[in-house]
Amino acid sequence: MTDERPAVIELSDAAVRVGGRTLWGGVDLTVRHGEFAAVLGPNGAGKSTLLKVLLGLLPSATGRVRVLDAAPGHAGRRVGYLPQRRSFDPGLRIRGTDIVRLGLDGHRWGLPLPGRGGRNAAAGTRVAELIELVGASAYANRPIGQCSGGEQQRLLIAQALVQRPELLLLDEPLDSLDLPNQSAIATLIGRICREQEVAVMMVAHDVNPILHHLDRVIYLAGGKAVSGPPGDVITSDTLSVLYGTRVDVLRASDGRMVVVGDPAAPAVHADASERGGMHHSAA
Ligand SMILES: Nc1ncnc2c1ncn2[C@@H]1O[C@H](COP(=O)(O)OP(=O)(O)OP(=O)(O)O)[C@@H](O)[C@H]1O
């Protein structure tokens, strides 16, 4: 990844306060045009909160944050966002294709406007392109509630992409998918990033399904962040400094990375929970 590419996300000395405490601070990082970046760290480290800062939903208490050369929240349709997964009611009748279309004109959906025939046709073409891109043609006309978790996720990714964003923010899009679907969706996002030249910042609790697609890792822990190529960040030495206690990055025989440490360490104990904590597959 060349450093000449323009920055899409820039944080310098950024900090965020929630509920009267500083969640993280002194954060410097840059994500460049077309990069695939993962935000990793234990539960409660502030990964989703970082996306909220980039969306302009929470202010940075210090320093400077720029998104596509604008203040957070001011880049409009140039930023696509897929929030943490919510499931659709199995009885929901709305079709997959309508879900994608909602990304284009959610505020007008269902109300065709007079004299907008050409515009509606263009919208239909764009929606069809996206359904093809994410490989959802076989089930796009099925009610969304009857689609599988992986199928729903493909349609939601299509929705987030339909406005041709330059930056896609994804909050744990692999969560609650089985391993084959995690791998397939990771590959899809990697392909979108390269072929459509969309920068991706993706919150993940397991780096393994996306490791081979990543240009950059942003690891949040202990109120600080480290950012860099995955091989530089996910190391025993770098993570030990970040956590403020000894942790080890182990490679399983199948290549998976596992971070192992002392669960009683004060720097992480407060944030530890079932899924995260200090003994979790993937960083
Ligand atoms: N508006 C808020 N007011 C008070 N506390 C908040 C607020 N928003 C987030 N928090 C707290 O900040 C911490 C970080 O939340 P966040 O959702 O960013 O963590 P995360 O790293 O994404 O965790 P997880 O992996 O569990 O999703 C949590 O302890 C959360 O309860």
Say what the pLDDT of residue 272 is. Answer: 35
Asked whether the beta carbons of 33 and 268 are under 8 A apart, the reply is no
Residue 79 lies in a domain: yes
Residue 275 lies in a domain: yes
Tell me the two tokens of residue 50.
Answer: 């970082």
Q: Give the Å distance between the CA of 129 and the centre of ligand 1.
A: 36
The domain of 211 spans: 7-281
At 183-202, the pLDDT tens digits run 999 999 999 999 989 999 99
State what percent of residues in the chain have pLDDT above 90: 55
Q: Give the Å distance between the CA of 19 and the centre of ligand 1.
A: 10
| Beta pairing, strands 7-18 & 79-82 | unpaired
Q: How many Å apart are CA 209 and CA 218, to the nearest integer?
A: 16
Rg, the chain, Cα only: 19
Say what the pLDDT of residue 265 is. Answer: 40
Average pLDDT of the segment spanning 18-43: 94
Residue 265 lies in a domain: yes
Residue 29, strand partner residues? 11
Q: Give the Å distance between the CA of 122 and the centre of ligand 1.
A: 40
Taking alpha carbons only, the member of 78, 39, 88, 65 closest to residue 203 is: 39
Residue 235 lies in a domain: yes
Residue 177 lies in a domain: yes
Taking alpha carbons only, the member of 48, 43, 50, 22 closest to residue 271 is: 43
Structural domains of the chain, count? 1
At 95-134, the pLDDT tens digits run 999 999 998 876 544 545 555 566 677 888 999 999 999 9
- Which atom belonging to ligand 1 lies closest to the Cα atom of 50? 18
Question: Which residue's CA lies nearest to atom 31 of ligand 1?
Answer: 44
Q: Give the Å distance between the CA of 47 and the centre of ligand 1.
A: 8
Question: Which residue's CA lies nearest to atom 25 of ligand 1?
Answer: 43
Residue 38 lies in a domain: yes
> Which among 48, 274, 278 is the best mutation to test ligand 1's pocket, defined by most ligand atoms within 8 Å of the CB?
48
Average pLDDT of the segment spanning 51-73: 95
Residue 1 lies in a domain: no
At 198-241, the pLDDT tens digits run 999 999 988 988 988 999 999 999 899 999 999 899 999 998 88
Q: What is the amino acid identity at position 95? A: R
Q: Residue 26 belongs to a domain with what CATH number?
A: 3.40.50.300
Residue at token pair 């720029």: 66
Question: Which residue's CA lies nearest to atom 26 of ligand 1?
Answer: 43
| Beta pairing, strands 167-171 & 79-82 | parallel
> Which among 27, 49, 176 is the best mutation to test ligand 1's pocket, defined by most ligand atoms within 8 Å of the CB?
49
Q: Give the Å distance between the CA of 161 and the centre of ligand 1.
A: 26
Asked whether the beta carbons of 23 and 49 are under 8 A apart, the reply is yes
Say what the pLDDT of residue 106 is. Answer: 61
Question: Which one-letter DSSP state was computed for residue 95?
Answer: B
Neighbouring CB atoms inside 10 A of 236's CB total 15
Residue 2 lies in a domain: no
Q: Give the Å distance between the CA of 46 and the centre of ligand 1.
A: 5
Q: Is the ipTM of this complex over 0.90?
A: yes
